[in-house]
A and B are shown apart, each in its own frame.
Chain A
Amino acid sequence: MAEVRRQLHSRSNQIVIHLAHLPLAALDFTTLPQQLVNGLFLGSIYALIALGYTMVYGVLKLINFAHGEVFMLGSYGALFTSWMLGFGPGGNAAQGSIFTLALMLLGAMLMSGTAGFIIERFAYRPIRNHPRIASLITAIGLSLLLQYGGQAFLLDGKKQAITSKVSPYNDDIILNLRKPNTEKLHEAQALQPEVDAAKAAFDAQLPFEKSQFELSPKGDALSTALANVKEKQSNLMTAANASAVSLRLPKGKLIMLTTTIILMIALWYLVMKTKMGRAMRAVSVDFNASSLMGINLNTVITFTFILGSVLAGAGAMMYSTFQSAPIDPFSGMAPGVKAFVAAVLGGIGNIPGAVLGAIIMGIAENLVSWSGYSSYRDAIAFVILIGVLLFRPGGLLGSSKVEKV
Chain B
Amino acid sequence: MEQGGEGLKNFQFGKWIGFRVVSFGVAALLCFLLDRILQGDNQSYTRFLVSLAGIYVTLAVSLNLINGITGQFSIGHAAFYQIGAYTGAVLAGGMFAKLATSQPLLWLVLAAIFGAITAGISGFIVGLPSLRLRGDYLAVVTLGIGEIVNIIAKNQKALGEAYGLAANKIESVFLVSLLAVICIAVSRNLLKTAHGLAFLAVREDEIASSAMGVNVTKIKVTAFVLGSAFAGAAGALYAHTKGFVSPPDFSMDVSFLILTMVVLGGTGSITGSVLAAVVLFIIPEKMRDLKPVMMGAPIGVAIGIIVGVALLKKIQDNYHGPALKRFGMNVGSIAIGIVMAKLMATLLVKIPALQHMINGASFRMPALAVTLVVLMLLRPQGVFAHHEFSWSWVQKLLGRKSVPETEVAA
Contacts and interface: CB of A to CB of B under 8 A. Distances in A.
Contacts of B129: 390
Contact of B376 (A5, A138, A149): A138
B170 interface: no
A200 interface: no
Interface in B89-123: 90, 93-94, 97
Contact of A8 (B93, B145, B259, B376): B93
A340 B94 CA distance: 40
B297 to A, nearest CB: 11
Interface stretch (B158-166, B212-220, B321-329): B158-166
Given A134-B376, A153-B358, A403-B134, A8 B90 contact: yes
Interface string B302-325: 000000000001000000000000
B140 A140 contact: no
A127 B377 contact: yes
Contact of B362 (A126, A144, A152, A402): A152
A319 to B, nearest CB: 21
Most central of B93, B136, B263 by chain A CB within 10 Å: B136
A136 interface: yes
A173 interface: no
Contacts of B362: 148, 151-152, 157
B124 to A, nearest CB: 15
B388 interface: no
B75 interface: yes
B380 interface: yes
Given A127-B377, A144-B368, A149-B369, A393 B133 contact: yes
Given A136-B73, A140-B256, A393 B145 contact: no
Interface in B124-155: 129-130, 132-137, 139-141, 144-145, 147-148, 151-152, 154-155
B304 to A, nearest CB: 15
A9 B96 CA distance: 11
Contact of A126 (B313, B358, B363): B313
A140 B372 contact: yes
A152 B301 CA distance: 14
Interface in A26-59: none
Contact of B207 (A381, A393, A405): A405
Contact of B147 (A5, A134, A144, A378): A378
B347 interface: no
Given A138-B376, A375-B154, A382-B148, A148 B263 contact: no
A110 B90 CA distance: 51
Given A5-B93, A137-B263, A393 B376 contact: no
A142 B135 contact: no
A402 B138 CA distance: 13
Nearest to A146: B369
B7 to A, nearest CB: 33
Nearest to B136: A63
A44 B154 CA distance: 29
B152 A141 contact: no
A159 interface: no
B295 interface: yes
Nearest to A148: B365
Contacts of B165: 8
Interface in B348-367: 358-359, 362-366
A138 B104 CA distance: 43
Interface string A361-405: 000000000000001101101110110011001000000001111
B372 A152 contact: no
A383 B263 CA distance: 28
A221 interface: no
A126 B263 CA distance: 18
B185 to A, nearest CB: 27
B49 to A, nearest CB: 22
B368 A12 contact: no
B132 A390 contact: yes
Contacts of A142: 369, 373
A379 B134 contact: no
B366 A402 contact: no
A218 interface: no
A145 B370 contact: yes
A130 B316 CA distance: 14
A389 B115 CA distance: 29
A141 B373 contact: yes
B141 A141 contact: no
A403 B371 CA distance: 31
B137 A382 contact: no
A379 B93 contact: no
A142 B369 CA distance: 7
Given A375-B151, A378-B151, 8 more contacts: A15-B156, A142-B373, A143-B369, A145-B369, A152-B359, A379-B148, A393-B137, A405-B134
16 contacts: A5-B93, A11-B157, A15-B158, A137-B380, A140-B75, A141-B371, A141-B372, A144-B365, A144-B372, A148-B366, A375-B151, A375-B154, A382-B144, A385-B144, A389-B133, A405-B206
List the 7 shortest-distance A-B pairs measured between CB atoms, nearest first.
A141-B372, A382-B144, A8-B93, A148-B365, A145-B369, A144-B369, A15-B158
